Amino acid sequence: MLCENKEVLTPTDVETWVMRGGCKIGSSRSTITKDNLPSIAANITKHGLSSMVIFGGFEALVSVLALGELALLPCYLLPATISNNVPGSDFSLGCDTALNAIVRCTDAIKQSAASTRKRVFVVDVMGGYCGYLAVMGGIASGADSVYIAEEPVNIDQLQYDASRLITKMDHQDVYRGLIIRNEKSSPNYSNDFVTALYAEEGRDKFVARSAVLGHIQQGYSPSPFDRCLAAVLADKVYHAIKAGPSASTALVLGIRGAESVFTPVQQLIPTIDMTRRVCIDKTHCKWWLELKPIVQILSLPPDRRERRTSIIMNTQC
């Protein structure tokens, strides 16, 4: 294996990488295209490569699709992106670490106003057109509402959520409100617009502030879940390579339920929205959408929470 400085790395050199953030071997957002397939094929033959493992997000998936057309060697994709938008897997490496960063930041933001008047924070999180970070971050941080691209928000919904928060603020023991907004949830209802709307609607009850977390979500050391997931996927792909699959193999190695599963990339093509760079398969990639109602249940006052939960449970049954 080669690093950025072209040095050959041994197992001893990389054994501590699991606890470090970032990418030590370098990374790029460029993708493999049909124009550079001939030169790639020549280098595969020149160096005598027997297999290829690619770590990355949607760009890596596009590259694996292109490499599959070469049919020269087995190629494996291990999903690694905070957006968690790679089809074929319930989780991508890095998304849990980003989720931990979001919870830390939102906790700090709410605590920053501990000695002031009642306040609502509108927090913008990353994820592209995939709302995983927004939904799971909203549940973990106790958000009152979550806005994602999968369920476009309108002005009526914004006004309803604002009025619901005003009612909640009437309780003497409620001082903070939190709104989580996915960065691509709406091209027009921006973070500043949503903050201004809440500030205007609740001017007699609370003040509203905006926060964009940005690239801090890509920081911190890997979480325990991501470290364990990386070890499991690496072990799985190692044994697959050792078993010697056919040369035409192009697979995505992902977590589905409690198992690690290899899925041919050709089977995933119907589940991919190339324009929005997301998976549209609600069975696996969008499993977290079913958890979104929990956000509103937990944000209700205790006297209404049990009734709302029973209604939802009866409806689902």
In the predicted structure, residue 121 carries a pLDDT above the cut 90: yes
Residue 58 half-sphere exposure, CB side, CA atoms within 13 Å? 17
Q: Are 268 and 283 in contact (CB under 8 A)?
A: no
For residues 230-258, give the mean pLDDT.
84
pLDDT at 305: 54
User: Partners of 253 in the beta sheet?
Assistant: 262
d(Cα 242, Cα 185) in Å, to the nearest integer?
43
**Of all helices (H) and strands (E), which one includes residue 195?**
helix 191-201
3 pLDDT more than 50: no
Amino acid identity, residue 23? C
Distance CA 229, CA 260 (A): 10
How would residue 140 be classed by pLDDT, with cut points 50, 70 and 90? Answer: very high
Helices (H), 27-141: 37-47, 58-70, 95-112, 132-141
The whole-angstrom separation of Cα 305 and Cα 273 is 36
Q: What pLDDT does 43 receive?
A: 85
Instruction: Using DSSP, state whether 78 is helix, strand or coil.
Output: strand
Report which of 59, 126, 125, 124 is spatially closest to residue 277, judged by C-alpha positions: 59
214 Ramachandran zone, left/alpha/beta (phi>0; psi -120 to 50): left
Token duo for residue 42: 């020549």
Give the model confidence (pLDDT) of 80-94 as tens digits: 999 999 998 999 999
What gap in Å lies between CA 123 and CA 143, rounded to an integer? 10
Q: Above pLDDT 70, what percent of the chain?
A: 89
Q: Which of 2-6, 85-89, 248-252 is least confident? A: 2-6
Q: Do domains 11-94+222-285 and 96-220+291-316 have the same CATH topology?
A: yes
What does the pLDDT look like over 202-234, one tens digit per residue?
888 888 999 999 888 887 889 999 999 988 998
Q: Are 126 and 213 in contact (CB under 8 A)?
A: yes
From 88-92, 112-116, 194-198, the region with the lowest mean pLDDT: 112-116
Pairing outcome for strands 52-56 and 207-212:
unpaired
Q: Mean pLDDT throughout 285-292?
A: 88
Query: What is the residue type of 234?
Result: A
CA dihedral 71, 268, 150, 95 (to 10 degrees): -70
Between 299 and 275, the more confident residue is 275
* Average pLDDT over every residue of 241-256: 80
Least reliable range by pLDDT among 16-20, 56-60, 104-108, 158-162: 16-20
- CATH level 3 topology of 96-220+291-316: Rossmann fold (3.40.50)
The whole-model pTM stands at 0.87
pLDDT value at residue 2: 42
Over the Cα atoms of the chain, what is R_g? Answer: 22
Residue 184 confidence (pLDDT): 93
Polymer length of the chain? 317
When mean pLDDT is compared across 7-11, 177-181, 285-289, the lowest value belongs to: 7-11
Average pLDDT over residues 129-146: 94
Instruction: Show me where the domains of the chain are located.
Output: 11-94+222-285, 96-220+291-316
CATH number at 11-94+222-285: 3.40.50.450
Given a cut of 50, is residue 315 above it in pLDDT?
no
| Percent helix, strand and coil across the chain, each to the nearest 5 | 45, 20, 35
Is 259's pLDDT higher than 50? yes
So what's the pLDDT on residue 44? Answer: 84
Per-residue pLDDT, 311: 47
